[in-house]
Structure 1
Amino acid sequence: METLGGRLARLRRRQGYTQEGLSEASSVSVGVIRKLERGDRESARLATIHKLARALGTTTTDLMGTHIPTAPVGPVVEPPGLLAIRKALTPVRVGTPNPVEGTPATADELGTAVRAGIGWYRSDDYTAAIRVVPELLLDAETAIGEADDSDRPALLRARAAALNLTGSLLVHLRHFDLAYEALRQGREAAAAAGDAVADAALVDTLCWMLIRQNRFDEVEDAATAAADVIEPSFSSAARLHLAQWGWLMIRASTAAARNTRYDQADEYMRLAGAAAAGIGTDVRFRWQNFGPSMVGMKRVENEMIRHRPDKAIMLAERVENPGPKTNNNRNRFMLDVAAAQLELRRFGAASTTLGQIRADAPDWLRLQPYAGQIVRDLIDRRARALPEELVDLADFFGLE
């Protein structure tokens, strides 16, 4: 819980005051301000707090931390796009279904729609992606129900891809339970199609979700099991097959590193690097890339997990092609770079890196708690008035 001194220091920097400047503006001695901020004093007279609050443009209760939040009024309503996805994934089937109107979609038509959704996802246009998904899922289900045995495998693969896209969107938006249902149905479709690589792709997304839930043992087990099923021949496997296997190794490495199993994390990353070397360059598949640069970026992430910012910066400088501005992995890599710069007390560089991500991918950045925490830490570590660039970032994340 934030102390009175912590709130005082945060608000003072936010308003651009030095301790001496706030003393002059509030008529409170600089000694009292220093003692409060250092924690030498845990409280002050109400009159002193009132003077400080007035100078800082806030209320006494907010500075004291005694504001009582009010309960939300009414139920939480999901955005319409998410409600439509929920209905598509968990329909209520009562009575006789309505007859199908028109000609069912073909596998090629479904594939085209999936690729359009992936394009919107990659460009951070989540609203457009969410809008296309419900109809895509219903079209795929209808087409599979109407198909003969020869057409069904291709339609099942298209449905698996559509459900993987759906699950990825929901994970990104932190609707984890609904994402799990999408991925579960996707794995059923992949299994029915007999496509182990499509199933591995869904496990890959599942592992991403589990990492975000701190379920690291499960990630390592799931990623390695799926990788064993599709283990490729490095000399003859298709590049996308190698890429999918490599991503599973990255997921296992990330989970092991977060679980303080550093030697095993290094081994998984070595295997991912071998797959990347087998491909030779960065390849694009679904909504992500894989290759030497991706492995390099994930090595930086692991070093930050291990609290080794100096090595993270060294490895970051070796990454030649982090990807386009809208690539989420590229932007996550840049967040790791900003965090490393913060830990090395390169505050200006960290602010600049964050500002670049904000300019390139504002919608993505706004949804990242990691980014908000870096900004908060930057604010807390600045002893002087905040520079304009950092004030803008604080405003962007709604920080005081």
Structure 2
Amino acid sequence: MPTQDTSVADRLIELRRRRGLTQEGLADQAGISVGVIRKIEQGGTARIENYHRIGRVLGVRTVWFQTAESPAPRLDDQRDAVLADIRSAINPPAGLRGRILPDDDVPPNLGLLERAVGAVAAHYQADRYDDVARMSPALVRSAHVHVNALEGLDREKAVRLRADALQLTGRYCIQIREHDLGIIALRDSLSDALSVGDQALAAAAIGQQGWALLRQARFDEVEALCVATADELEPSKLTKADKTTVAAWGYILMRAAAAAARNNRPHEAREYQSFARSAAEVIGTEIDSAGHMRFGPATVGMNGMQNELIGDRPDVALQLAEDIRTRTTQATPNTQQRYALDRASAHLKLREVDKATEIMMGLKQQAPSWLRNQATARYLAEDLLDQAKRMPSSEHREIAAFLGLTA
């Protein structure tokens, strides 16, 4: 058996041989290029979706391919300078008496703070990320000041608003792929939500933490976290429970399903997805829940479609997409955009290049800031260039240039 410090390359070679497969045979069964197998076995890396396909053929979880190794040095530190203000607000220095938080002589104003939280949420949902980056550090600092200055019920409201502000800032950090910074904000948001007994807001923070961990391919951890949380949140009777509670429970199970699907655990993914669908059916329509989230049949349907796509069933994914087509506008803009990107992926897997191109061009026009921050979009653009007949079209070159690729 391979030892713990054996490289992914060595482990893949040994497991492939134990299964009686050549590089070509493994590539054929996984539906990928033999060059991908060779690259991994020579010490290179591949997309997470390719690890998923290889793992399905070999009968192992996707996380089997994760190994601890020193990351390559990052030569461009420009992002650090840009994010300095957000880092300072989310993760201030700590001394012997705890974190050193800001102080302000301006009297607290809960109404003003609440409106500011709403404004940042609106900017986030509209993909105005520059505005979120500009406003969120001051918002978090103001929330700290309010919590420190107030007492009683006013302080409790300030804590809720701080949890909300931290959660929005954490979501922005995840969106721009600053996952660890986002997790710090979400942990503090969770702590605030729990301190005032707001389970729905706490569940939203946990779900967003799960999103960050999914992006880091920490699938086992996400599934365990979400299942444990769902067990705590599960209503005794769905039909009689408060809708906010039902939405929180369903949302967490939806995240568990996403983790299991990505980790080659389709049976568990369908089970969690079934519970999430039951919660959505009880609610009946999309509802706004804590943390500026939305949950209901459309959101759950889109998650199920994505899980089928991850399981390499693009035809099933597109059928599910058609089934929920009339409800998609009820979901948040971010969810709708992710759904569109998933449809483009499904069409491309079925070699329907024109349809995938049309969707990508639409996203470029409608949600440019969001699209630029999606790794999936870059992978799709690369595949569009590969699948384009003869010379890439002007649209393919336009998409590639927009996403920083060389056509």
Give the alignment's TM-score, normalised by structure 1: 0.77
The one-letter code matched in structure 1 to 2:143 is: A
CA displacement, residues 212-231 of structure 1 (integer Å, 9 cap, x when unaligned): 01101110111122222222
Post-superposition shift, 1:101? Answer: 0.7
Counterpart in 2 of 1:78? 80
1:277-316 equivalent positions in 2, closer than 5 A = 277-285=281-289, 286-316=291-321
Counterpart in 1 of 2:396? 390
Post-superposition shift, 1:325? Answer: 9.7
Which of 138, 154, 157 pairs up with 2:157? 154
CA displacement, residues 153-183 of structure 1 (integer Å, 9 cap, x when unaligned): 2221111111111110111111122112111
Which of 348, 353, 356 pairs up with 1:350? 356
Provide the C-alpha distance between the structure 2 equivalents of 1:389 and 1:99, rounded to a whole number of angstroms.
52
Counterpart in 2 of 1:138? 141
In the alignment, structure 1 residue 89 sits paired with structure 2 residue 77: no
Alpha-carbon contact 1:183-1:202 (below 8 Å) kept: yes
- Three-state SS of the structure 2 residue aligned to 1:214 is coil
Which of 310, 327, 330 pairs up with 2:333? 327
The one-letter code matched in structure 2 to 1:136 is: L
Provide the C-alpha distance between the structure 2 equivalents of 1:341 and 1:270, rounded to a whole number of angstroms.
25
Provide the C-alpha distance between the structure 2 equivalents of 1:343 and 1:111, rounded to a whole number of angstroms.
45
The one-letter code matched in structure 2 to 1:91 is: P
Higher relative contact order (CA 8 A, sep 6+): 1
When residues 120 and 267 of structure 1 are mapped into structure 2, their CA distance, relative to the original with a 3 A threshold, is same
The one-letter code matched in structure 1 to 2:87 is: R
Alpha-carbon contact 1:303-1:312 (below 8 Å) kept: yes
Counterpart in 2 of 1:275? 279
In the alignment, structure 1 residue 101 sits paired with structure 2 residue 102: no
Which stretch shows the higher mean deviation, 137-146 or 303-312?
137-146
Counterpart in 2 of 1:121? 124
Counterpart in 2 of 1:200? 203
- Three-state SS of the structure 2 residue aligned to 1:188 is helix
Alpha-carbon contact 1:351-1:390 (below 8 Å) kept: yes
Provide the C-alpha distance between the structure 1 equivalents of 2:102 and 2:393, rounded to a whole number of angstroms.
62
The one-letter code matched in structure 1 to 2:218 is: R
Counterpart in 2 of 1:61? none
Alpha-carbon contact 1:211-1:219 (below 8 Å) kept: yes
Provide the C-alpha distance between the structure 2 equivalents of 1:333 and 1:141, rounded to a whole number of angstroms.
36
Provide the C-alpha distance between the structure 2 equivalents of 1:73 and 1:171, rounded to a whole number of angstroms.
21
When residues 350 and 187 of structure 1 are mapped into structure 2, their CA distance, relative to the original with a 3 A threshold, is same
Which stretch shows the higher mean deviation, 201-210 or 179-188?
179-188
Provide the C-alpha distance between the structure 2 equivalents of 1:205 and 1:249, rounded to a whole number of angstroms.
13
When residues 241 and 258 of structure 1 are mapped into structure 2, their CA distance, relative to the original with a 3 A threshold, is same
How many residues matched? 329
Post-superposition shift, 1:353? Answer: 1.3
When residues 242 and 367 of structure 1 are mapped into structure 2, their CA distance, relative to the original with a 3 A threshold, is same
Long gaps (5+) in structure 1: 1-38, 40-70
Post-superposition shift, 1:335? Answer: 1.2
CA displacement, residues 15-65 of structure 1 (integer Å, 9 cap, x when unaligned): xxxxxxxxxxxxxxxxxxxxxxxx9xxxxxxxxxxxxxxxxxxxxxxxxxx
- Three-state SS of the structure 2 residue aligned to 1:317 is helix
Counterpart in 2 of 1:189? 192
- Three-state SS of the structure 2 residue aligned to 1:150 is helix
- Three-state SS of the structure 1 residue aligned to 2:288 is strand
When residues 279 and 361 of structure 1 are mapped into structure 2, their CA distance, relative to the original with a 3 A threshold, is same
Counterpart in 2 of 1:379? 385
In the alignment, structure 1 residue 173 sits paired with structure 2 residue 176: yes
Post-superposition shift, 1:105? Answer: 2.8
Post-superposition shift, 1:192? Answer: 1.6
When residues 127 and 204 of structure 1 are mapped into structure 2, their CA distance, relative to the original with a 3 A threshold, is same
Provide the C-alpha distance between the structure 2 equivalents of 1:85 and 1:98, rounded to a whole number of angstroms.
14
When residues 155 and 204 of structure 1 are mapped into structure 2, their CA distance, relative to the original with a 3 A threshold, is same
> Root-mean-square deviation (CA), in Å?
2.4
Which stretch shows the higher mean deviation, 206-215 or 129-138?
129-138
The one-letter code matched in structure 2 to 1:312 is: A
- Three-state SS of the structure 1 residue aligned to 2:141 is helix
When residues 278 and 74 of structure 1 are mapped into structure 2, their CA distance, relative to the original with a 3 A threshold, is closer
- Three-state SS of the structure 2 residue aligned to 1:284 is strand
CA displacement, residues 356-387 of structure 1 (integer Å, 9 cap, x when unaligned): 11121011111111111112112112232323
- Three-state SS of the structure 2 residue aligned to 1:376 is helix
Alpha-carbon contact 1:325-1:360 (below 8 Å) kept: no
When residues 117 and 344 of structure 1 are mapped into structure 2, their CA distance, relative to the original with a 3 A threshold, is same
Amino-acid identity (%):
36
Counterpart in 1 of 2:38? none
When residues 93 and 316 of structure 1 are mapped into structure 2, their CA distance, relative to the original with a 3 A threshold, is closer
Provide the C-alpha distance between the structure 1 equivalents of 2:146 and 2:138, rounded to a whole number of angstroms.
12
The one-letter code matched in structure 2 to 1:389 is: E
Which stretch shows the higher mean deviation, 381-390 or 86-95?
86-95
Post-superposition shift, 1:102? Answer: 2.1
Provide the C-alpha distance between the structure 2 equivalents of 1:321 and 1:231, rounded to a whole number of angstroms.
26
Counterpart in 1 of 2:214? 211
Alpha-carbon contact 1:122-1:287 (below 8 Å) kept: no
